[in-house]
Amino acid sequence: MGLDRFLFRKEILIDDSGWGDLILGVVIGALKLPERRYMERRIPISSFQPPNFENKQYLDDAEKIVEDIVEAMRPDMETMFKGCSGYVLSSIRKRLREQGFNVKKVEITGELQDMVERGYIRWCVEVGIPAERFEENNRFWTLLDWIAEKPRIREKLVKTGWKSWPKKWRGKVFKKRA
């Protein structure tokens, strides 16, 4: 067992984007090092709407995504998975450990975080949100205003399973259009 085994450790980093945003689902991205292979998958908005949200469908979806990651990236048992500490990735970390992989909960920054964030914004643009809406620092308010422009049409893109949507934000959005 040579020293190079430890110097050239294989890693797969996993991060998510969209968890805290009012619209759409979540993008999960994985980056395999040192090859720098990247892939991403989406947890659909339907997993964040009733009744799926209450049943935590998004965690089941995340587990399916980890199967895609393992199949596509073909890690061996020496590969270290480093996953963001976000809740939506908790089932991914658990599933990988059950499969015998080394898993570490970390804070993801830098390149992977940027890639996954761009993937989420691309998805938003695909559904019609102008790219310039993402130039502002606090996306929540700009996205809430975007929904309020056409709430009857755009509500289908909202994480309506959040308790705050029916209790607070839905009324404000529809009131703006009244």
Q: What is the pTM (predicted TM-score) of this model?
A: 0.87
User: What does each C-alpha distance from 161 to 6, 92, 96 come to in angstroms?
Assistant: 45, 21, 27
Half-sphere exposure of 2 (CA within 13 A, CB side): 3
Span 11-24, pLDDT tens digits = 899 999 999 899 99
Q: Are residues 93 and 103 in contact, defined by beta-carbon separation less than 8 angstroms? A: yes
92 near 65, Cβ under 8 Å? yes
Listed residue (25, 28, 61, 41) closest to 162, CA to CA: 25
| Domains of the chain, start order | 4-135 (3.30.420.10)
134-160 pLDDT per residue, tens? 887 788 888 998 999 999 999 999 999
